[in-house]
Amino acid sequence: MSSVPRGSKASSGARMLEAAGLPIRSAIEGLAWPAVPDKAGGSLLAMLWQMERSERFSQARLRSLQMVQLRTLLRHAAANVPFYADLWGGLGRERLGFDPAVDTLTPKRFSALPVVTREMIRGAGEAAFSKMVPRAHGSVQASLTAGTTGAPLHFRATGLTQLMWQAFTLRDHLWHRRDLTGKLATIRPMRGPRAETPDWGRTTSALCSTGPAVGLSMEHDIVEQASWLVEQDPHSLVTHPGNLYALAGWFSGHGVKLPLLHDIRTVSGRVAPEHRAACRAAFGRPLVDSYSTRELGYLALQCPRHERYHVQEEGVLLELLDDVGQPVPQGRPGRVVVTSLHNFAMPFVRYDTGDYAIAGAACDCGRGLAVLERIVGRGRNLMSMPDGTRRWPGCDLIHLDVVPGIRQHQFVQTALDRIELVLVADQPLSQADQESLATVVRACLGQGLEVAVVRVERLPYSADGRFDEFVNLLSH
Ligand SMILES: [Zn+2]
């Protein structure tokens, strides 16, 4: 399968934009073509032009460009951010092997810097913020992200980090050749119940005209969401993976189609193979996922040809480390540790996201950007074993279709030897149903487990709207 449509060869940025249905908006009255965009649009085009090239660079070349950018960031952090000045200064040149404030940065020196956790950053309070931000980085925005454990993190971003966010959003549209002139429907946690805007938002409107956008809060139950989608008849849909899975189940189960729906995207949460299969079965289209966090921006986008992801290495240096801070080999899950290259208001240097991912081999799509084969979830999604170790629960392999009518499920580990299987199901479950479900769960997660089956009206989402398929209550 080719990502380039017939009749078009590998193209310039402008031609790619046109191929994706993005006629560039001109800021000069009386000028329709060739368009001259406004300042924000011009900056985005400049970024896209470079990123179209850099996505094909080798890993060595990408790493050396990252080091050039990181050298500036680290000097800034050492001079202006008390948290890093204390952390690195406390270790000293002897332990670190270099002084981040003055010495030339190399990948080896970089990997000597300590990994920082969310708790360390949160504990630092104001000391994690820069005392000075270069004026050209634009206005500093303060924001808040809810953690999976419910403890919020105050973070800061700049006009520059916002520009990077927009550039990666547009890259995602271009990679997947989206028609931006259609209607976009978003179902996510929202402040109000519904939203309606004339276009897709600031990111795209800086550069081109788009279709309208509508939004619905994910708090609505699946039947309400489904009837809203039928009424809206969108071209594009964005929601969380667990929610999409439930919607796909409803549409398949009721034999209802969304005739215009072409582009289905998921954000916030782990995508499992069954989510992808259910999406194709219900809507006849593939699920396209992206991996981002509020404080770090985009970390990875799905490859246009495969279900794997490409790390957005122009924006972040992403490492996969084991529990003692060493890189994990390809194919094994590692902790996602990220350095954000452009946030000078609140630098994140070797920041442990709490997520886990598996690195993949180089991709045959021609992009040199590092590959994540899968994003496997968060630390609290690990199962605690009686011997004190923690491992990935093989939830993907559990086939709950031994009992019909199950729409959503979640596993909750409440004790070392006890799992609750929480279900949204169309009808009450008989004793025999519960026993067959417990049997398949035990076969996959452990024969000695006590399995309790609990039927609920709806599944709980975490404070920031994430849905976890496996929740370990012992890890809090
Ligand atoms: Zn690829």
Please work out, in degrees rounded to the nearest 5, the angle formed at the alpha carbon of residue 40 by the alpha carbons of 36 and 45. Answer: 60
Q: Is residue 79 part of a domain?
A: no
Q: Is residue 37 part of a domain?
A: yes
Q: What percent of the chain has pLDDT over 70?
A: 89
Q: Give the least confident one: 102-111, 223-232, 424-433, 467-476.
A: 467-476
How confident is residue 5, by pLDDT bands cut at 50, 70 and 90? very low
Q: How much is the pLDDT for 379?
A: 60
pLDDT at residue 12 greater than cutoff 80: no
Q: How much is the pLDDT for 17?
A: 63
Find where tokens 């193979």 sit. Answer: 273
Number of domains the chain contains: 2
Distance 383 CA to ligand 1 centre (A): 31
Q: Is residue 61 part of a domain?
A: no
293 contacts 142 by C-beta, under 8 angstroms? no
Distance 201 CA to ligand 1 centre (A): 27
pLDDT at residue 353 greater than cutoff 70: yes
How confident is residue 32, by pLDDT bands cut at 50, 70 and 90? confident
Distance 367 CA to ligand 1 centre (A): 6
Distance 248 CA to ligand 1 centre (A): 26
Distance 53 CA to ligand 1 centre (A): 14
Distance 206 CA to ligand 1 centre (A): 28
pLDDT at residue 440 greater than cutoff 80: yes
pLDDT at residue 306 greater than cutoff 70: yes
Q: Is residue 109 part of a domain?
A: no
Q: Is residue 201 part of a domain?
A: no
Q: Is residue 388 part of a domain?
A: yes
**Residue (of 164, 145, 129, 143) closest to 47 by Cα position:** 164
Q: How much is the pLDDT for 208?
A: 86
pLDDT tens string 446-464? 888 999 999 998 776 654 4
What is d(CA 361, CA 364) in angstroms, rounded to the nearest whole number?
9
The one-letter amino acid code at 1 reads: M
Distance 304 CA to ligand 1 centre (A): 6
Q: How much is the pLDDT for 190?
A: 81
**Domain of 45?**
16-54
Tokens of 145: 């992200």
Average pLDDT over the chain reads: 88
Distance 231 CA to ligand 1 centre (A): 36
Dmax (CA) of the chain:
75
How confident is residue 271, by pLDDT bands cut at 50, 70 and 90? confident
Q: How much is the pLDDT for 394?
A: 66
Q: Is residue 434 part of a domain?
A: yes
Distance 19 CA to ligand 1 centre (A): 19
Distance 263 CA to ligand 1 centre (A): 19
Greater pLDDT, 354 or 378 = 354
pLDDT at residue 20 greater than cutoff 90: no
How confident is residue 1, by pLDDT bands cut at 50, 70 and 90? very low
CATH of the domain at 449: 3.30.300.30
Distance 306 CA to ligand 1 centre (A): 6
**Residue (of 334, 288, 292) closest to 307 by Cα position:** 288
What is the sign of the dihedral through the CA atoms of 312, 316, 317 and 319? negative
Distance 2 CA to ligand 1 centre (A): 11
Q: Is residue 421 part of a domain?
A: yes
pLDDT at residue 130 greater than cutoff 80: yes
